[in-house]
Chain A
Amino acid sequence: MTPVLAAALPAAVTSETRPCRSAMLEHVADGNGDPIAPAPRPTPDELLGRVGRGDRAAFGALYDETSPRLFGLIRRLVVDAAQAEEVTQDVYLEIWQTAARFDAAKGSAIAWMFTLAHRRAVDRIRSAQAARDRDLRIGARDLDVPVDTVAEAAETSVEHDRVRGALGDLSDLQRECVALAYYGGLTQREIADRLHVPLGTVKTRLRDGMIRLRTALGVTT
């Protein structure tokens, strides 16, 4: 098998800055207090805080604001639409249940939510006896989604570009491993099997790739 997904993540950012609607970059969003600007929409962090106090309206708003992103991620991993809905429902109920435990000092609300979503999606595909079938069925196809095309279709943001820039700091091999893990839902052992490389190599690529990503993103935060 050839290296599957050199193209799964963009190598570098080439596009210039476009209008921003990032929920993750509050500091960009509320930049220079234009007095005429309408009241800014509450951020997921604010909404999640209110959800933790039992605010249903905030939960609804948080759902509206974030569910396309969470559902998009879950569906990409789970593939089956009905199962993706189930997982999404579980994730949001968990968010409702445990919102009070979210600690803003430890990270952003959206990262916390993505973590829950990714975990549950991965658990679903691994718990399903069909996990292997699914793996065979979709193979590299799903993982090979050209993100550049996606970016054209999706609403692009400064944040988006910033991450693509950061991803450019990873080596192709690191990006491949990170993508197989995160977008493919594979374990490090499965990645090693797929790429025919030793497990230790995969561990190293994942770790070094994530360190680079963290560093690149951290520098500009």
Chain B
Amino acid sequence: MTGHDDELERGRRDAGARSGEPISVEAFHGLAAAYALDALDHDERAEFERALAASPELRDEVDAYAESAAHLAEQGEPVAPPPSLKARLMAELDSTPQVAADAAPDVPEAAAPAPPVAPTAPTPSPTPAAGGSDRPVGRAESAARRRWFQRPGAIIGAAAAAVVLIAGAVIGIGWTGPNGWGAQREMAAIAEAPDAQSQTHEVEGGGEVTLVSSAAAGRSGVIVEGLPALDADQTYELWYIDDAGADSAGTFDVAGPETWRVLDGSFTPGVAVGITVEPSGGSPQPTTDPIVFIPT
């Protein structure tokens, strides 16, 4: 039943690795122990984590194995790290933002049907962006993310001028966007946040995506330019991607030359944002390769 025929396993894996063919649920349960022991290679782990994101049962199984694995860790010899390490660590806390507990991706859409009251558009002030504050965490994380999507991209550092431009652009173009005023205000707030970061990536096949994010606000949004409109049965879908896999952050459609959207869910520094083309209505997990992948 659990098919441990070696040839079968190997064939399935090879097929999966080459063509992205899904592995059966049974096979994933068979890999939960190896996953908890970190005995899967990069590709296997990525594939497993996509299944993990979609299966609470698998999550429970992994959690149980993780508890057992921790007991193995307890068997080792404790070694006191040098005191300097703690000093460095404590000094880093100030520049290391914490995520909120409600990091669940099920944040309801901010686009409530608010009446279009004449907005007093917040004028963006040229707050200096907190550029260059390199996040100390996440080399391995971002490596993992790149593996996940296999799509490295250049990071363009935040510049205060760019942030201001973006805030202006948002206020200028937001009215025709799919989002209500609440979301528009939120987008502006993200761009105006003292720690706002922006990075622009080119999209394969034409167009540009700018991600604006604020760790302090725990939110991010994208501004897309020059992306082709899709067929009626397709939509663009946003993803927050971390070690645990990809979480949908909402969908958007392109109506004009420029569109923007605040992402659903919480933004955490280090998380990556990806965009895929999905069937209309969006997918719980990405079904296509991303057209753009933005590590943060």
Interface residues of A (CB under 8 A from B): 9, 24, 52, 54, 56, 59-60, 63-64, 67-69, 71-73, 75-76, 85, 88-90, 92-94, 96-101, 106-108, 110-112, 114-115, 117-120, 122-124, 126-127, 145, 147, 150-151, 153-155, 159-160, 163-164, 166-167, 178, 181-183, 185-189, 191, 198-201, 203-204, 206-207, 209-211, 213-214, 217-218
* Distance in Å: Cβ of B266 to nearest Cβ of chain A: 10
Q: Given the known inter-chain contacts A52-B101, A60-B90, A203-B4, please indicate yes or no for A147 contacting B34, CB distance below 8 A.
A: no
Q: Given the known inter-chain contacts A90-B140, A97-B96, please indicate yes or no for A122 contacting B38, CB distance below 8 A.
A: yes
Cβ < 8 Å to A, chain B residues 54-68? 60, 63-68
* Distance in Å: Cβ of A100 to nearest Cβ of chain B: 4
Chain A binding surface SS class: helix
* Distance in Å: Cβ of A210 to nearest Cβ of chain B: 4
User: In whole angstroms, how far apart are the Cα atoms of A115 and B37 in the complex?
Assistant: 9
B117 within 8 Å of A by Cβ? no
B67 x A107 contact (CB < 8 A): yes
A123 x B144 contact (CB < 8 A): yes
Q: Which of A63, A150, A164, A203 contacts B30 (CB 8 A)?
A: A203
Q: Which of B72, B85, B100 contacts A182 (CB 8 A)?
A: B72
A188 x B5 contact (CB < 8 A): no
Q: Size band of the B side of the interface?
A: 35 or more
A127 x B143 contact (CB < 8 A): yes
* Distance in Å: Cβ of A77 to nearest Cβ of chain B: 9
B37 x A200 contact (CB < 8 A): no
A68 x B98 contact (CB < 8 A): no
B98 x A99 contact (CB < 8 A): yes
A187 x B41 contact (CB < 8 A): yes
B75 to chain A: which residues have CB within 8 Å?
Answer: 9, 147, 150-151, 160, 163-164, 167
- Nearest-CB residue, chain A, relative to B8: A200
Q: Which of B70, B90, B99 contacts A100 (CB 8 A)?
A: B99
A206 x B37 contact (CB < 8 A): yes
B21 within 8 Å of A by Cβ? no
* Distance in Å: Cβ of B188 to nearest Cβ of chain A: 26
Q: Given the known inter-chain contacts A114-B73, A154-B78, please indicate yes or no for A199 contacting B99, CB distance below 8 A.
A: no
A24 to chain B: which residues have CB within 8 Å?
Answer: 70-71, 74
Cβ < 8 Å to A, chain B residues 242-268? 243, 268
B65 x A214 contact (CB < 8 A): yes
* Distance in Å: Cβ of B53 to nearest Cβ of chain A: 14
23 example contacts (A-B, Cβ-Cβ < 8 A) are as follows: A67-B81, A67-B86, A72-B77, A89-B89, A93-B92, A96-B93, A97-B269, A98-B98, A98-B268, A101-B99, A111-B66, A112-B66, A119-B243, A150-B77, A160-B74, A160-B75, A178-B72, A181-B34, A191-B39, A206-B33, A206-B39, A210-B68, A213-B68
Q: Given the known inter-chain contacts A52-B98, A210-B36, please indicate yes or no for A163 contacting B74, CB distance below 8 A.
A: yes
B140 to chain A: which residues have CB within 8 Å?
Answer: 90, 119-120, 123-124, 127
Q: Given the known inter-chain contacts A154-B77, A206-B39, please indicate yes or no for A97 contacting B33, CB distance below 8 A.
A: no
| Residue with the greatest number of chain A CB neighbours at <10 A, chosen from B30, B42, B74, B90 | B74
- Nearest-CB residue, chain A, relative to B95: A93
User: In whole angstroms, how far apart are the Cα atoms of A21 and B285 in the complex?
Assistant: 44
A200 x B136 contact (CB < 8 A): no
* Distance in Å: Cβ of A170 to nearest Cβ of chain B: 11
A115 to chain B: which residues have CB within 8 Å?
Answer: 36, 66, 69-70
User: In whole angstroms, how far apart are the Cα atoms of A197 and B101 in the complex?
Assistant: 45
User: In whole angstroms, how far apart are the Cα atoms of A9 and B144 in the complex?
Assistant: 30
A206 x B67 contact (CB < 8 A): no
Cβ < 8 Å to A, chain B residues 1-25? 4-6, 8-10
* Distance in Å: Cβ of B84 to nearest Cβ of chain A: 9
A90 to chain B: which residues have CB within 8 Å?
Answer: 136-140
| Residue with the greatest number of chain B CB neighbours at <10 A, chosen from A63, A97, A98 | A97
B110 within 8 Å of A by Cβ? no
A97 x B98 contact (CB < 8 A): yes
User: In whole angstroms, how far apart are the Cα atoms of A89 and B6 in the complex?
Assistant: 40
User: In whole angstroms, how far apart are the Cα atoms of A99 and B93 in the complex?
Assistant: 13
B39 x A118 contact (CB < 8 A): no
B136 x A56 contact (CB < 8 A): no
A182 x B37 contact (CB < 8 A): yes
User: In whole angstroms, how far apart are the Cα atoms of A31 and B68 in the complex?
Assistant: 23
B31 within 8 Å of A by Cβ? yes
B80 within 8 Å of A by Cβ? yes
